[in-house]
Amino acid sequence: MSDAGSPPNRWLSALINVVGCAAVIAGTYAGIRWIYDSQPTAQQQNFKRKSAALVETIRAERRTWSPRLTVLGTVRPAQDIVLSSRVRGQVLELTDSFAPGQIVTPSELLLRIDPADFENVVSIRQSELKQVEASLQIEKGREKLAEQELALLSKTIANVDVDLVLRKPQANSLKSQLSAAQAAVERAQLDLARTEIVAPFHAQVLRRNVNVGSQVQSGDDLAQLVGVEEYWVMAAVPARNLRRIEFEQDGQSGSEVTLHDPESWGPDVSRTARVSRMLGSLDEQTRLARVLVTVPDPLGLKSRQAPLILNSIIEVRIKGSPIPDVVRIPREYVHDRDTVWVMADGKLDIRETEIAFRDAEYAYIESGVEDGDEVVTTTLATVANGVLLRKIAPEQPAQPTDVREDDPADDADTTDSDRSEVLPSGDRSGSESSSPAIVVPETTP
């Protein structure tokens, strides 16, 4: 047998393989390490921008401003009733104005219930009244006769109950019957009058539930009417903004309100209203306060303004109470930590501010920005105090803020054969501030 397959030879072969693999791995690691250690080293060099960033500004104005609170509100009727009958019977007639969408005036006839039965009751009650009146007249005659008889017999009759002799109890009884008969007649006439159902106020018919021939009972739902003299808008307002809203008090009007419904009225149409009062509780779901806004003539019947639609959601802009001695700027120009960029002496000045109030469009600044300051409105890539700025002239178009002008003298001192410049990605504002630039020497492959 050959010794090739003996155990010592197999162990020797395995050892050689392991050593070879280890040598390959070590060589690979050493090569990677050498490449990493021999790469060029970046060096910092102070570099100064030669151009100012072109910016646009707005001039701050310190005075008394009134904020605008923009919220959503739901249109509700100020008067809303379910019209019902107080008598029963068959509907005999419906007027033309008693239809959904129609406007009805106070006391205008809407429908008539068959009055025949009620007219008969009135006749019966009137007959009963006349009978009681006749009985009372007869009793009055008997009372006079009894007075004459009592006068003739007064000397011979002693200890007589005068009221009984004069028939006072009978007269009082008939008087009570007379009052009851009169009340019965009035009740019958009232029921007859209730067969004609009229509009209780100036209203619009939202729905009608009966037609000619319908049998109605007392209390049946006949129609729904809403008043057209005034609507309410229930606006949801954050509780923190209530201090800026004025409510009706001691004859003083509440805050002025502008209503917008772009979908129904168009983008340029609005209506004015007034804040009336605040409801006494927060909404359970949204946890917002509810403010009631009153809108006169909501359908534009007198003024021909855009009509409000019940249950619609519209935009409500409430004019808040004035805030004195503040600067107002658009909210987008207030940056992180309530800072504002101001251009002072051609340089960027990052100001920390104290904001008194914010509405949907503006921030109202108490301190940090003064009257006449130039607030920067252009977005800057590099934000630091002292960055050079240059205001864009009205006729000059805005230029990119990352363009810089190179000095030819600098180009003469620094050539491509010596180094190439790599600017940091965040430093592209063209400022005069000293910014480190990375200089990488070229290497020959």
Specify the DSSP element, H or E, that contains 98: none
Q: Is 394 helix (H, G, I), strand (E, B) or coil?
A: coil
Instruction: Judge contact between 285 and 306, C-beta under 8 A.
Output: no
Give residue 14's pLDDT.
79
Q: Is 172 helix (H, G, I), strand (E, B) or coil?
A: helix
Give residue 140's pLDDT.
81
Residues in the chain: 445
The residue type at 135 = S
Give residue 163's pLDDT.
64
Instruction: Judge contact between 364 and 67, C-beta under 8 A.
Output: yes
Give residue 296's pLDDT.
95
* Per-residue CA distances from 192 to 173, 197, 378 (Å): 29, 11, 79
Per-residue pLDDT tens, the chain, 445 aa: give them.
445 456 667 777 778 888 888 888 888 888 888 887 777 766 655 545 557 889 999 999 999 999 999 999 999 999 999 999 999 999 999 999 999 999 999 999 999 999 999 999 999 999 999 998 898 888 888 777 777 766 766 666 655 666 666 677 888 888 888 999 999 999 999 999 999 999 999 999 999 999 999 999 999 999 999 999 999 999 999 999 999 999 998 888 999 999 999 999 998 999 999 999 999 889 888 899 999 999 999 999 998 899 999 999 999 999 999 999 999 999 999 999 999 999 999 999 999 999 999 998 999 999 999 999 999 999 988 889 999 999 886 644 444 444 344 443 344 343 333 333 333 333 333 433 333 333 333 333 3
12's CB contacts (< 8 A; 6+ apart) are none
The tokens describing 236, both together, are: 């949801």
Q: Is 152 helix (H, G, I), strand (E, B) or coil?
A: helix
Q: Which of 183, 190, 179 is nearest to 118 (CA)?
A: 190
Give residue 192's pLDDT.
95
**Exposed, middle or buried, 144 (CB in 10 Å: 0-12/13-18/19+)?**
exposed
Q: How many CB atoms lie within 10 A of CB 118?
A: 20
Output the pTM of the full model. 0.66
Instruction: Judge contact between 272 and 303, C-beta under 8 A.
Output: no
Alpha-carbon distance of 319 to 252, in angstroms, equals 15
What does DSSP assign to residue 333?
A: G
Alpha-carbon distance of 226 to 79, in angstroms, equals 5
Specify the DSSP element, H or E, that contains 264: helix 262-265
Give residue 413's pLDDT.
40
